[in-house]
Amino acid sequence: MSRTARLFQLMQPLRSHPPPVTAATLAADTGVSLRTLYRDIEALRGLGAIIDGTAGYGYALTEDASVPPLMFDDEEIEALVLGLRDVQAIADDDLARAAKNALAKLQARLPAAQAHRLKHAVLSADRMMRPAQPSIDVRRLRQATWDEQTIEIAYIDANDIATTRRVDPLGIVFLQETHCLLGWCHLRQDFRHFRLDRMQELVITKDSFRPRRVPMLREAIKGLSATWAKPSVMMARNAGDAQR
């Protein structure tokens, strides 16, 4: 890991832990020795971060130079908290961690009164039944989607039939308590959605479908919205059926 990446990583526990954070805690979170941790603290101070505290006492980040000043009204703060906490509740581990870090960054940079409102927001989100965690690496799937690379997946359909699909991934959506990939299925020559928890294997090919993802995604969402509005499809999705 580069020194720059290590310093950026150190900012996360400084934002997330209640202050003062001990050097031992910060070193454990970032995987470095105490000696390196002390040097990194001084390096961050040199870059403009205001970090109170000393070795043996603990550290508190009072001003974070890596995040520009932000201003939100009260409703915007509630919306941000609700959205990011819902991501923490329903997303895969990597994305849930990113949402937690985003909240910490916001709280670190907001004025004191707004930071207090964010920390104690009226709105929140939780799920009694959380989505099943996918067995594939969803971060790799997101990157392949962004890079507009065709993928191949081993998939178990609604009838427990194993199949292999070649798909142009367009976007990931949360539908009826599960995450689904919207994509162009090469086998069916049509748009399809695939539940992430039914994917058994993911292979990212070198084939690109750039620059068609955005217009294809618009068309896929338009067709999905129109189809799911039909009563027969509403009954099917409530019964847990899926596309083949």
The 10s digit of each residue's pLDDT in 93-107 is: 899 999 999 998 888
The string of pLDDT tens digits covering residues 203-234 is 999 999 998 998 999 899 888 777 665 543 33
**Is 125 domain-assigned?**
no
Q: Are residues 99 and 190 in the same domain?
A: no
Same domain, 188 and 151: yes
- Which of the listed residues 16, 38, 63 is the one where a domain comes to its end? 63
Shared-domain flag, residues 78 and 57? no
Last residue of a domain, one of 16, 40, 63: 63
Per-residue pLDDT, 241: 45
Q: Which CATH number fits the domain that encloses residue 173?
A: 2.30.30
DSSP string of 106-170, one letter each residue: HHHHS-HHHHHHHHT-S-----SSPPPPPSS-HHHHHHHHHHTEEEEEEEE-TTS-EEEEEEEEE
More confident call, 244 vs 109: 109
Q: Is 79 in the same domain as 57? A: no
What DSSP element (H or E) covers 55? Answer: none
Residue 166 pLDDT greater than 70, yes or no: yes
User: How is 59-121 classified by DSSP, letter by letter?
Assistant: EEEEE-TTS------HHHHHHHHHHHHHHHHHS-HHHHHHHHHHHHHHHHHS-HHHHHHHHT-
Element (H, E) at 239: none
Query: Are residues 144 and 213 both part of a single domain?
Result: yes
State the total domains in the chain: 3
Report the pLDDT averaged over residues 44-57. 84
Most confident of the following: 43-47, 130-134, 191-195: 191-195
Same domain, 87 and 152: no
37-51, 72-86, 91-105, 226-240: the lowest-pLDDT one? 226-240
Q: How far apart are CA 199 and CA 151, in angstroms?
A: 12
Rg (CA), the chain: 22
Check residue 40 and report its DSSP letter.
H
Strand 178-185 vs strand 58-63: parallel, antiparallel, or unpaired? Answer: unpaired
Query: Do 17 and 98 lie in a common domain?
Result: no
Let me know if residue 243 belongs to a domain.
no
Which helix (H) or strand (E) segment holds residue 198: the answer is none
So what's the pLDDT on residue 19? 81
Do 189 and 223 lie in one domain? The reply is: yes
Q: Domain range spanning residue 208? A: 138-238
Q: Tell me whether residue 69 is in a domain.
A: no
Q: Retrieve residue 84's tokens.
A: 């990011």
> For the stretch 34-63, what's the b/e string if a residue is b when 16 or more beta carbons lie within 10 angstroms of its beta carbon?
eeebbebbeebeeeebebebeeeebbebee
Tell me how far apart the alpha carbons of residues 86 and 80 are, in angstroms, rounded to a whole number.
Answer: 10
State whether 142 and 234 are in the same domain: yes
Q: Are residues 225 and 157 in the same domain?
A: yes
What is the C-alpha separation between 150 and 165, in angstroms, rounded?
Answer: 10
Sign of CA dihedral 239, 240, 243, 244: negative
**Is 83 inside any structural domain?**
yes
Same domain? 144 vs 226: yes
Q: Is residue 124 part of a domain?
A: no
Are residues 196 and 165 part of one domain?
yes
